[in-house]
Amino acid sequence: MARAAGAPAAPVAIVEPERAHAPSSDRPSDELAASPAWVDSRTSIDLFCDAMWLEHGLSRNTLDAYRRDLQLFAQWLAAQHEANVDQASEAMLTGYIAARSDGKATSSNRRLSVFRRYYGWAVREHRAAADPTLRIASAKQAPRFPSTLSEAQVEALLAAPDVDTPLGLRDRAMLELMYASGLRVSELVTLKSVEVGLNEGVVRVTGKGSKERLVPFGEVAHGWIERYLRDGRPALLGARAADPLFVTARGDGMTRQQFWNIIKRHAQQADVRAHLSPHTLRHAFATHLLNHGADLRVVQLLLGHSDISTTQIYTHVARERLKTLHAAHHPRG
């Protein structure tokens, strides 16, 4: 049956293609790297990433993820259709998404989000004639809520490092600061000494989109940072100089992976048996603030969320925690 004039087009279903699987590496073969389609795609992708950095201040990690997703798509297009990213049709894009499917709606939706952003830019810049993402619907996915630790579990985790050693002092100061401020891991490991105001009790953070915010961190974290700066950091650096606040035994800045390993190691030492992530203490920071009556808008500002709907996921976690406590302790629970 024909669609009535002016009626919106139905979302396109993603079906399994008959073509080869999508590439698993973002490094093309020598033959593919020399193809005009790949060369043209790479130029467009580089221009897009430059524009996202200049116009929106996206972080290096975000831009690297965008570049990888787009380059994998460009490889597939060049190999299967001898087309570049600006020549992609709706059918090509749905075929690629299906070829890359791992059964997880979150993965498909993440890629689709990148493609929507790319083609919105490409059409505005007259690099692409049309946006092939317009009729492609996102995959349905259940709402995801961050797992968090109880206050007792957080206390056990914070107390795990051996503070009689320079590395233990560093770890304690990092964990205390993250729980006290709710910083993202990338913000924590890139924090510079000059961005910590001990007298004011705040850190100056440059977050997503190059947005700067001031975040308080409280007396307990203040004490551990001060002790780390006095006894731990000088022992780790020796005669070397370094901008980052938190440094390794070699005097280098920390990486996100190194901090993740720190959390896992100390959680194991503290026998904290819970689902962990690099942002475990950030999630605990937000949830515990809400549990103790903090205003949602205040938590939004502290976390650096541009959209309050992102912060609202923590209200669900807080409600679930209250329901669990009620059921456990109320005489008629």
Of the candidates 192, 208, 264, 316, the residue annotated as catalytic is 208
Known catalytic residue at 184: yes
Active site residue 66: no
96 is catalytic: no
Q: Is 192 a known active-site residue? A: no
- Among 184, 233, 266, 283, the active-site one is 184
Beta strands, E only, 69-166: none
Q: How far apart are alpha carbons 113 and 133 in whole angstroms? A: 9
Give catalytic status of residue 282 as yes or no. Answer: yes
Choice among 111, 127, 282, 288 that is catalytic = 282
What phi and psi, each to the nearest 5 degrees, are found at residue 197?
A: -100, 90
Q: Which of 119, 179, 228, 314 is catalytic?
A: 314
Burial 173-186 (b: 16+ CB within 10 A, else e): bbbbbbbbbbbbbb
The token duo for 45 is 């992708």
For the chain, report the end-to-end CA distance as a whole number of angstroms.
Answer: 56
Active site residue 208: yes
> Of all helices (H) and strands (E), which one includes residue 302?
helix 296-303
Among the listed residues 67, 222, 233, 279, the single catalytic one is 279
Cα 194 from chain centroid (whole Å): 25
Structure tokens at 151: 């206050």
Q: Which residue has the tokens 């997703």?
A: 69
Provide the annotated active-site residues: 184, 208, 279, 282, 305, 314
